[in-house]
């Protein structure tokens, strides 16, 4: 069965420092991976995806993610964090065996301190 794991409930980082939000996956077949962000009282916003090709994927708001097949990871990164990046981040994998639904991780709350 497809699954993703987000090992950290919360990540704290100072503004201007690089940030990493971790995600590992378990799939049968090719992984189709996604990152979403949720700001307070809002729906989820798509950040980026990995389908195939370059292992470094660039997305919205200066975020990028590195796909690592050997470590089965898809960590979200940003070189310089902003206070406005503080939000809830979800990693997700496509269930290509079933109904094409997304399977979400438990979420990681990112707190960026001024």
Partner 1 sequence: SAVISQKPSRDICQRGTSLTIQCQVDSQVTMMFWYRQQPGQSLTLIATANQGSEATYESGFVIDKFPISRPNLTFSTLTVSNMSPEDSSIYLCSAGGDTYNEQFFGPGTRLTVL
CB of 22 to partner 1, least distance (A): 15
Q: Are the beta carbons of 109 and 37 closer than 8 angstroms?
A: no
Query: CB-based contacts of 104: which residues, under 8 Å, 6+ apart?
Result: 4, 36, 90, 91, 92
CB of 4 to partner 1, least distance (A): 10
75 C-beta neighbours (distance < 10 Å), count: 17
> Which residues make up the interface to partner 1 (CB under 8 A)?
32, 34, 36, 41-46, 49, 51, 88, 90, 94, 96, 99-102, 104-107, 109
CB of 104 to partner 1, least distance (A): 5
């Amino acid at each position: 069965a497809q699954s993703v794991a987000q090992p950290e409930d919360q990540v704290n980082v100072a503004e201007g420092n690089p940030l990493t939000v971790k995600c590992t996956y378990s799939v049968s077949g090719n992984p189709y991976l996604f990152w979403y962000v949720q700001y307070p009282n809002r729906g989820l916003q798509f950040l980026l995806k990995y389908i195939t090709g370059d292992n470094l994927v660039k997305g919205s708001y200066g975020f990028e993610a590195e796909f690592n097949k050997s470590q089965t990871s898809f960590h979200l990164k940003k070189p310089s964090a902003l206070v406005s990046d503080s939000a809830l981040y979800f990693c997700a994998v496509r269930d290509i065996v079933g109904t094409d639904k997304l399977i979400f991780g438990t979420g990681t709350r990112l707190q960026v301190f001024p």
